Amino acid sequence: LSLMYVALLRVKTINGLMFKDVFSYQQLKQKRSKVLKMREQDIKHKARYYVIV
């Protein structure tokens, strides 16, 4: 699955793109790991202190 993700990132146009096997978009979605959840909380926390000019 990770190799498919890397391959899809490198595609510049969809012309001529063909998949050999069927796959679900859900497989490519990033899972919300503990670290990702912590990053999101940190961003929300820091957003309270940013001053927009």
User: Is residue 52 domain-resident?
Assistant: no
Alpha-carbon span 12 to 8, nearest angstrom? 9
> What's the total number of domains in the chain?
1
Question: Mean pLDDT per segment of 10 residues, for the chain of length 53 residues?
Answer: 76 79 74 86 88 69
User: Is residue 19 domain-resident?
Assistant: yes
Which pLDDT score is estimated for 16? 72
What is each CA distance from 1 to 4, 13, 17, 21, in whole angstroms?
Answer: 5, 21, 17, 12
Predicted structure pTM score: 0.38
Which pLDDT score is estimated for 41? 94
Question: In terms of residue numbers, what domain contains 36?
Answer: 2-47
